[in-house]
Amino acid sequence: MSNFPRLTRLLRSGDPVRICLFGSSTCEGVGASAPENGLCPVVERTLQPFMPSGVTVINRGIGGNGATEMHERLPQVIEDRADLVVWQGGTNDVWQDLPVSAFIDQTRADLEVLRGYGCDLGMIGPQWSQMMEEHPRFPAFRDAVEALAIELGLPFFNRYTRMKSWCAEYGITREELSPDGLHLGDFGYRLLGEAVARWIVDLTGAPAV
């Protein structure tokens, strides 16, 4: 059974699909040299051959947002009427005066609200970067995102481990992926966007190209 059943039905019936990337600076594309090099455009371009009837990727990322700010923007995401919402977070909350338990409770509640509207849901975990590794609160939030995805039965994209594997595969450093110590550069966004798109495809059974 597919992990993205709504998306799968639409693809099988030849309908266009709408995907919302909901999060903070990663979704927004902070650190890219131009908007077209950010996460959402890369995901959309990579998905297009697999979704010939049309795919629209909606950018609902705002840098600096944590769970509280994302909760305030939830009505916008609902109004987007996306077939798949991919939630990305757990980074900025580390710097906010928010207990990890409150982060979990707020995020769980928001994801349950979105699920009630019938869209597919997936989650992207926090990044592997210098600034996050140096913060003592980071491991708890990093692990909380994956644990919440498991609890809710949602597909989880482990960005933290993927970034480590890319450094090993391409012979590059963590700082080459995130030149400012936190945000991805163009190469990092290309790797992440292509990987997230393939993750979506794998979970829908979209035709191979």
39 contact partners, CB below 8 Å, separation of at least 6: 21, 26, 27, 29, 32, 61, 184, 189, 192, 193, 196
Backbone φ and ψ of 102, nearest 5°: -70, -40
Over residues 133-141, mean pLDDT = 95
Phi first, then psi, for residue 167 (nearest 5°) are -60, -40
pLDDT at position 2 over 70 = no
Q: Which position has the token pair 């903070």?
A: 24
Q: Does residue 109 surpass a pLDDT of 70?
A: yes
**Domain limits, the chain:** 5-202
Ramachandran assignment for 121, one of left (phi > 0), alpha (psi -120 to 50 degrees), beta (any other): beta
How many CB atoms are closer than 10 A to CB 150? Answer: 11
Give this prediction's pTM. Answer: 0.95
Instruction: Encode pLDDT of 6-62 as tens digits.
Output: 999 999 999 999 999 999 999 999 999 999 999 999 999 999 999 989 999 999 999
> Which CATH superfamily, name and number, covers 5-202?
SGNH hydrolase (3.40.50.1110)
Centroid of chain to Cα 159:
9
* Chain centroid offset of residue 142 CA: 13
Residue 167 one-letter amino acid: C
| Confidence band for 152, pLDDT divided at 50, 70 and 90 | very high
Classified as helix, coil or strand, 167 is: helix
pLDDT digit string (tens) for 181-198? 999 999 999 999 999 999
Q: In what order do the strands lie in the sheet with 84-88?
A: 55-61, 17-23, 84-88, 120-124, 156-157
Rounded to an integer, what distance in angstroms lies between the CA atom of residue 198 and that of residue 205? 10
